[in-house]
C-alpha cells in the first residue's frame, strides 16, 4: 500500500530523513514514535506530499510520487491526514467543514455530501454538533471533526501526526477511542504518537525513528516485553 525506498529529505543543508525504508500493507496499522525532531512528521508528510522527498522513491497505492505535480490530487484523495492542530475552517460550521471536500474536490451534490458528512459525524459520536462552529466545540470534539472530515474523502489510507498532543488530558481518550474504532474497520493507518497504550492496543508494527532514520521496526510485543 505504501512503499518507501531509500528515502532522503533535506531542509537546506539539514538532512531530516536518511535512507528510510518502510513497507506498509493494506489494512496494517503502523505507529511511528521517537524523539522530537527525529523526522516522524517529515516522513508522513512525504507520504501525502505535503513535503517532497529528495532521493529514493515513495509509492502510495500503486502511484509513484515524483516531481510530476499531476499525482498530488490523486494522492491527497487517497490519503487522509489528521494534524496535531485540528486545522478546521473557523468560519464554517462542522457540517460545512465536512462537506467542502466532497463538494469541491469530489464534485458531489450538496445533499449527498451532507448525508456523507452526517454519517461520519455519527461515526465519531458527535452527530448533535453539525451546526456548531469549531470554536464552540472542545478540543477533543474538534479533533473528532477533523477525523470525520478526512474520512469524508473516503481515503484508503489515514495518516495521523500527533493527533492528541494538543489536547487536554481528559480529551485524549475520546479521540483515541475513535481511532481504535477506525482501526477496527480495517483502515490502513500510520500514526505518529507518544501514546504507547494506543500503540500497544492497535499497532501491528511500531517504527522507532532517531535522527532521521528508522532504527527499529517490530510488532508491539517486542517493544513492551522485558528484554
Ligand atoms: P518530528 O516529527 O520527529 O518531531 P520533524 O519531522 O518535524 O520531526 O522534524 C525533523 C527535523 O527537521 C527537525 O530538526 C526539524 O527542526 C526539521 N524541520 C522540519 N521541518 C522543517 C522545515 N520546514 N524547514 C527546516 N527544518 C525543518
Ligand atoms: P511537528 O513536530 O508536528 O512537525 P513542528 O513544530 O516541528 O511540528 O513543525 C511545525 C511546522 O514548522 C512544520 O510545517 C515544519 O515543517 C516547520 N518547521 C519545523 N522545524 C523547522 C525549522 N527548523 N525551520 C523551518 N521550519 C520548521
Helix, strand or coil for residue 162? Answer: coil
Contacts of 77 (CB under 8 A, 6+ apart): 105, 106, 153, 155
Kindly give the distance from the C-alpha atom of residue 65 to the centroid of ligand 2, in angstroms, as a whole number. 22
- 223 falls in which pLDDT band (50, 70, 90)? confident
* Residue 43, C-alpha cell as written in the block: 516522513
Q: What is the tens place of the pLDDT at every residue in 34-67?
A: 999 999 999 999 998 899 999 999 999 888 887 7
Give the pLDDT confidence score for residue 227 in this predicted structure. Answer: 58
User: Per-residue pLDDT for 99 more than 90?
Assistant: yes
Cβ proximity of 213 and 207 under 8 Å? no
Residue with the smallest CA separation from ligand 2 atom 10 is 41
Output the pTM of the full model.
Answer: 0.91
Taking the centre of ligand 2 as the mean of its atom positions, its distance from the CA of residue 84, in whole angstroms, is 12
Average pLDDT across the chain, whole number: 94
Amino acid at each position: 500500500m505504501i512503499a518507501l525506498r531509500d528515502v532522503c529529505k533535506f531542509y537546506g543543508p539539514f538532512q531530516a530523513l536518511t535512507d528510510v525504508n518502510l513497507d506498509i500493507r493494506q489494512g496494517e496499522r503502523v505507529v511511528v514514535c521517537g524523539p522530537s525532531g527525529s523526522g516522524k512528521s517529515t516522513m508522513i508528510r512525504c507520504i501525502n506530499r505535503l513535503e517532497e522527498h529528495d532521493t529514493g522513491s515513495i509509492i502510495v497505492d500503486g502511484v509513484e510520487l515524483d516531481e510530476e505535480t499531476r499525482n498530488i490530487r490523486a494522492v491527497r484523495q487517497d490519503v487522509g491526514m489528521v494534524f496535531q492542530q485540528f486545522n478546521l475552517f473557523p468560519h464554517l460550521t462542522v457540517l460545512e467543514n465536512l462537506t467542502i471536500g466532497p463538494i469541491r474536490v469530489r464534485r458531489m451534490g450538496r445533499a449527498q455530501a451532507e448525508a456523507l458528512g452526517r454519517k461520519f459525524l455519527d461515526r465519531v459520536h458527535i452527530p448533535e454538533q453539525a451546526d456548531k462552529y469549531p470554536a464552540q466545540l472542545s478540543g477533543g470534539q474538534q479533533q473528532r471533526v477533523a477525523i470525520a472530515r478526512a474520512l469524508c474523502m473516503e481515503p484508503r489510507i489515514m495518516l495521523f501526526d500527533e493527533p492528541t498532543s494538543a489536547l487536554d488530558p481528559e480529551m485524549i481518550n475520546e479521540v483515541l477511542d475513535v481511532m481504535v474504532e477506525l482501526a477496527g474497520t480495517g483502515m490502513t493507518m500510520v500514526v505518529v504518537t507518544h501514546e504507547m497504550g494506543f500503540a500497544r492496543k492497535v499497532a501491528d508494527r511500531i517504527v522507532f525513528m532517531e535522527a532521521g532514520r528508522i532504527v527499529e521496526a517490530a510488532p508491539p510485543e517486542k517493544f513492551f516485553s522485558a528484554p
